[in-house]
Amino acid sequence: MRYWMAAGLVGILAAGGCARGEHDGFESDSAEPAERPAAVARQALPAPVDSAPAPAASIREDSVRAAFRPLGRLGAREISELHQDVNAEQIAIARSLGVRASGATEITRLVKQGRLVALGDSTPYWVLRRMEHSAPYVTPDARAMLVQLGRRFHERLDSLGLPRYRMKVTSALRTDETQAELRRINSNASQTVSAHEFGTTVDVSHERFAVPTGSGAATEMLEEVGKENSRALQAELGRALADLRDAGALRVMMEDRQPVYHMTVARRAPAGAAK
């Protein structure tokens, strides 16, 4: 594990496009993000009014299991549609909408300029996994995309009577320097450039999900039920992604060798949409 620290910045940077097998690893199955040093720069999201979780006392295991019972997996056609946006296409969009940083010092400068923003370790919509090969920063447009996706995902869960499970973000910003490092240890790493190098792209697990904020005493039960029903959650997140793809908000590739949705923001966001 290698931590980069500069002017309040901590990130572990590595690189490569999301060629198959070229992702940050999962360090933990726990619902909360791994502990970071005190020097980490954070921009925590306050919980929006429309994302307040149900009180822990009202979450019953039998009702949660009953809500999952009729749900199925993604269909073959849905999976095919989530495989359309190849890496080259995502890189082209990333170049047009993103910024590049050579290392930690430049990331700090871009953050001060507002051209990069922190993802936040834990929000109503996602948690960060410990990242071995990237830093937890993206462009404001990419963060707005992730907020929009989180809201769409929660709307789907609400309509099915399910708790508001959260996404697990496994990879974000990478640099030229650390791409070279990744090539030395991962033969699947892109030999040219990665969409992750522009701050426009994140990877989100489609196999593991975090429990809702404020789960309290129900946390352990919700973790267990979420693992048992990960394919149903994968399907609902995939359908939320497909909706936003159809609306022109993002491009997405459902990776196979690594269990992630690899997504790139596809348009500018209105001011303030990243909050």
What does the alpha-carbon distance between residue 75 and residue 204 come to, in Å, rounded to a whole number? 20
- The pLDDT mean for the chain works out to 82
Mean pLDDT of 146-161: 98
Q: What is the domain-level CATH number for residue 169?
A: 3.30.1380
Residue 39 domain flag: no
Give me the domain span that covers residue 93.
13-19+56-265
Mean pLDDT of 32-53: 37
Residue 79 domain flag: yes
Count of structural domains, the chain:
1
Residue 4 domain flag: no
C-alpha angle 149-153-156 in degrees, rounded to nearest 5 = 145
pLDDT at 33 over 70: no
35 or 240: which carries more pLDDT confidence? 240
Q: What is the pLDDT of residue 4?
A: 41
The model's confidence at residue 37, banded by pLDDT at 50, 70 and 90, is very low
Q: Any idea which residue has 């404001």 for tokens? A: 140
pLDDT at 2 over 50: no
Mean pLDDT of 134-162: 97
**Do strands 137-138 and 117-118 pair parallel, antiparallel, or not at all (unpaired)?**
antiparallel
Residue 32 domain flag: no
Residue 176 domain flag: yes
Residue 130 domain flag: yes
Q: What is the pLDDT of residue 16?
A: 41
pTM above 0.85, yes or no: no
Q: Residue 43: CA atoms inside 13 Å, Cβ hemisphere, count?
A: 15
Q: What is the pLDDT of residue 189?
A: 54
Residue 7 domain flag: no
Mean pLDDT of 41-62: 52
Give the closest residue to 50 by CA, choosing from 151, 120, 149, 123.
Answer: 151
What does the alpha-carbon distance between residue 85 and residue 134 come to, in Å, rounded to a whole number? 22
Question: What does the pLDDT look like over 178-230, one tens digit per residue?
Answer: 666 666 665 555 557 889 999 999 999 999 999 999 999 999 999 999 999 99
Residue 147 domain flag: yes
**14 Cβ partners below 8 Å, 6+ apart?**
24, 132, 133, 134, 174, 178, 179, 181, 182
pLDDT at 144 over 80: yes
